[in-house]
Amino acid sequence: MWYMKARQRLLDATVDYVAAHGIGDLSLRQLAAALGTSHRMLVYHFGSKEGLLVEVVRAVESRQKQALTEFEPGPLLGDQARQMWRRLADPSMWPLERLFFELYGQALQGRTHTTQLLDGVVDDMAQPMIDMLVAQGHEPDVAAAWARLGIAVVRGLLLDLLATGDREGVDAAMELFIGTFEKLA
Amino acid sequence: MWYMKARQRLLDATVDYVAAHGIGDLSLRQLAAALGTSHRMLVYHFGSKEGLLVEVVRAVESRQKQALTEFEPGPLLGDQARQMWRRLADPSMWPLERLFFELYGQALQGRTHTTQLLDGVVDDMAQPMIDMLVAQGHEPDVAAAWARLGIAVVRGLLLDLLATGDREGVDAAMELFIGTFEKLA
DNA sequence: GCCTTCATGTACCACATGGTACAGTCCTAC
DNA sequence: GTAGGACTGTACCATGTGGTACATGAAGGC
């Protein structure tokens, strides 16, 4: 279907714009101008600025989850992890990840429209990993700890990568982690 | 000295206020009211809102570095790491850490007054660790990778902790990491 | 053909913001 | 004592904001 409802089109464009320019100092007028419409339209379609931001958070959340779960299953956990990391560390993902961390920071401070992002920010990612590890014979509590640690490593190294841009150094640290996991787990 | 210059007093109080209320939607008037002064004074002492924010970032940066470097040296790296983590994960540190991550997120999006925070955000913390590891006989590149991984784990688990509040689960993940390090490194 | 509903643009409003002009206060040096 | 400077409060300004009233267009059902 070549046709797309105006609301959805606006939302997608908004996410792109916000990923590029940040969401902190966003104003409806600037956004509308960049999108080739008027701020009146944004209010019309989303009710208010708050309503729009809520939708943006939802969209980012969904894109994030999608990017982290759509890897082909296979027996080699280490190689799966490497594949996931290669995808996440790719520069094409950086804008969305910057936005994710900006939203995360806002959510930690209690911004109303962002707090929902925190609800499953760890568990939703951890559960699939735990299932995989348990399926491979690990104890549930050990599996949970490894999953939690893995998520922390991914997020921590992404923060590093986005700040320094030093792909090599960050890749080496990730390889060290995955290698360690393969030896011990 | 019981007496403190008005500027410094205002800055300290501002950092506390901002750690508690976030920096994203800060306005000089709200801040001044909470501090028992007028927004006129803030502009007078710091030149502009931007000037104040720069000072706040500097202060947060300095408090952060201080908290991460003031642990007693000793031969047992694992125990040093445990001590550092115990200090960082303590709830009394949470407000400052929330603020740190909020600033980090803003900096990734290029907010002018925050970008300086990114300059040494990894290296300044990594260097002392690398020195320690090298002093204990590790190869420099391996030491660098472990340091980088360690910082990522700390930051990633702090993000987890601040979002979920699940101290036990996060502690378990950290212990898994430190134990792994002790076995392998 | 007309009416209804969805969509869009223009013009406007009330409000909060960062910043400033000006006047006043307090303290210290002489 | 008083002159000068550091500090603080009041009142104001221009600007940008989110949101709204109103009029207009566009599309489809009857």
In the predicted model, residues of chain A with pLDDT beneath 50 are: 1-3
**What are the structure tokens assigned to A31, written together?**
């956004």
Verify whether the Cβ–Cβ distance B102 to A98 is below 8 Å.
no
Contacts of B144 in chain A (CB under 8 A): 169, 172
What does the pLDDT read at residue A68? Answer: 73
A25, A115, A122, best to mutate vs chain B, most B CBs in 10 Å? A122
The number of distinct structural domains making up chain B is 1
User: Please, which positions of strand D sit below 7 A from a protein CB?
Assistant: 7-11, 16-21
Give residue-wise pLDDT tens across range B106-165.
999 999 989 999 998 999 989 988 998 999 899 999 999 999 999 999 999 999 999 999
| pLDDT of residue B1 exceeding 80 | no
Q: Give the whole-angstrom CA distance, residue A148 versus residue A103.
A: 20
Classify A19 as helix, strand or coil.
helix
Residue A162 maps to a domain: yes
Residue B91 maps to a domain: yes
- Give the range of the structural domain holding residue B180, as residue numbers without chain letter: 6-184
Residue A107 maps to a domain: yes
Verify whether the Cβ–Cβ distance A144 to B172 is below 8 Å.
yes
Contacts of A160 in chain B (CB under 8 A): 122, 148, 151-152
Amino acid (1-letter code) at residue B25: D
Cα dihedral A160→A165→A169→A172 (10° resolution):
80
Give me the residue from A23, A106, A123 closest to B102, CB to CB.
Answer: A106
Q: How confident is the model at residue B93 (pLDDT cuts 50, 70, 90)?
A: very high
Q: Give the whole-angstrom CA distance, residue B162 versus residue B97.
A: 8
pTM score, whole prediction? 0.93
Verify whether the Cβ–Cβ distance A173 to B149 is below 8 Å.
yes
Verify whether the Cβ–Cβ distance B170 to A177 is below 8 Å.
no
Question: Looking at residue B168, which CATH number applies to its domain?
Answer: 1.10.357.10
Residue B1 maps to a domain: no
Give me the residue from B152, B162, B184 closest to A157, CB to CB.
Answer: B152
Residue A1 maps to a domain: no
What does the pLDDT read at residue B137? Answer: 92
CA distance A82 to chain B (A): 15
**What are the structure tokens assigned to B171, written together?**
């502690």
Give residue-wise pLDDT tens across range A79-123.
989 999 999 999 999 999 999 999 999 999 999 989 999 998 999
What does the pLDDT read at residue B76? Answer: 72
Residue B133 maps to a domain: yes
Classify B166 as helix, strand or coil.
coil
Contacts of A151 in chain B (CB under 8 A): 156, 160
